[in-house]
Copies of this chain bind each other. A is one copy, B any other.
Amino acid sequence: MADYRDMWNGLGIDLETHDKLCDALPVLFGETFLDQKDRPAAMDYFNMVIAEVHGLRIKELLAHKERGGTVVGSFCIYVPEEIVLALDGLLVGLCAGSQFWVPAGETLLPRNLCALVKAGMGARISRTCPYFQSVDLIVGENTCDGKKKAWDILADEAPLYVMDMPNKKSPAGFALFRQEMEALVRRLEELTGKTLTAENLLKGCERVDRKRRALDRLYALRKADPLPLSGRDALLVSQIAFYDDPERFIAQTEALATECEERVARGQGVFPKGTPRLLVTGTPIVVPNWKFHAIAETSNLAVVVEENCTGTRYFEQKVSLPEKKDLASLLDSLAHRYFDGIHCACFSPNEGRLDDIVRLAREYGADGVVHLSLSFCTTYQIEEEKLRRRLAAEGIPFLSLETDYTPGDEGQLKTRVEAFGESLRRHR
């Protein structure tokens, strides 16, 4: 691997602390992914991306900036990548998926807060995430109390812009979202020195649409039994979608889908046919949080679909392009895709999510649903009660798990997951 120390140094990375992270990640990745049997060969590309997660991709982002482009970071799928791309920006998800960053986050944030928000803050203030160090702007959004209030502290540490969100899917709520999207456009135009036009926005839409369709195609193959691809590997691909080069990502995901199609055609799978199948829903699962998938898939269960922000919610909904392709109409369509199409627990009520879970469980042949939430994630944990009632009415088995990024509860989780798997087998 190339030596990136000069690059990291130039970004203000705390090299000594960052080295510890660089030492730990390959071990975790090896145990979780490389030990799997019979992986598709096309996963090699995604292995490489993780091996180079703080290296090659950062080098590319810096080269993009050298050429006059900008890099925008975010923590949420409500930030429209179409607009960022249209203005010659690149949108990257920021570091927030490891316990490594939590203690630093806890120096500024309460301990009783979800690990994702604490890790995000910690990654920045410990200067150990080269994405945070490379971005020209972070676009935050008010989707939960934890992030909303943390932005006000992060604003003292990093260049930050916050999009407001309503809490109810009402016409007034849509009006707020639409105006906030317009305000974001102005802020990004100011940042990039470029102007959003119908032409460049259409190109941005087209590119993001192809990314979404590549993920669609890959996910559709997870409906097969036996599964051509493990849940872990599918999760890894969608996690990588958040920061990889879009064109290369699309090509590699299509190649993986082709290989999986061939597997499906010949009935080749990574788990025995009939392995109990899980739909996972709840809080986002960001790199390198592979904890639940690893536990489930080493317990004779298969994860077949993720109804969350790092799963179907990221790509299922497409932009319906308007008849008239002027800028205002395009922005309207875009706003509707995000506002109407994404069923985040930041909204109350949020029936659309419950409908999606039931629909996806049937489409993917899931035997049971696992609600996976990070501790202190208030929105998802309360919404769980509604989901529990809905799944009981639909006759779909349900398991609730609460966890964080520490390894301490893995044994207990495994016991519960195995017991759930046994009950699914008995009830078939």
**Residue A145 lies at the interface, judged by CB distance under 8 Å to chain B:** yes
Contact present for B168 and A166 (CB under 8 Å): no
Contacts of A385 in B (CB 8 A): 108-109, 153
Contact present for A164 and B175 (CB under 8 Å): no
**Residue A382 lies at the interface, judged by CB distance under 8 Å to chain B:** yes
Contact present for B170 and A167 (CB under 8 Å): no
Which of A25-33, A48-56, A345-353 is the contact stretch?
A345-353
Q: Which of B109, B170, B175 contacts A382 (CB 8 A)?
A: B109
Q: How many residues of A contact B (CB 8 A)?
A: 44
Contact present for B167 and A348 (CB under 8 Å): no
Contacts of A145 in B (CB 8 A): 144-145, 378-379, 382
Contacts of A142 in B (CB 8 A): 167-168, 348
Number of copies: 2
**Residue A185 lies at the interface, judged by CB distance under 8 Å to chain B:** no
**With A144-B145, A149-B345 known to touch, is A382 a contact of B164 (CB < 8 Å)?**
no
**Residue A146 lies at the interface, judged by CB distance under 8 Å to chain B:** yes
Contact present for A168 and B172 (CB under 8 Å): no
Best-surrounded residue of A144, A152, A173, A183 (most CB of chain B within 10 A): A152
Q: Which residue of chain B has its CB nearest to the CB of A182? A: B172
Contact present for A378 and B172 (CB under 8 Å): no
**With A146-B382, A153-B382 known to touch, is A167 a contact of B165 (CB < 8 Å)?**
yes
Contacts of A381 in B (CB 8 A): 110, 112-113
Q: Which of B149, B167, B175, B176 contacts A378 (CB 8 A)?
A: B149
For window 139-187 of chain A, which residues contact chain B by CB distance below 8 Å? 142, 144-146, 148-153, 155, 162, 164-168, 170, 172-173, 175-176, 179-180, 183
Chain A residues with a Cβ under 8 A of chain B: 108-110, 112-113, 142, 144-146, 148-153, 155, 162, 164-168, 170, 172-173, 175-176, 179-180, 183, 345, 348-350, 375-376, 378-379, 381-386
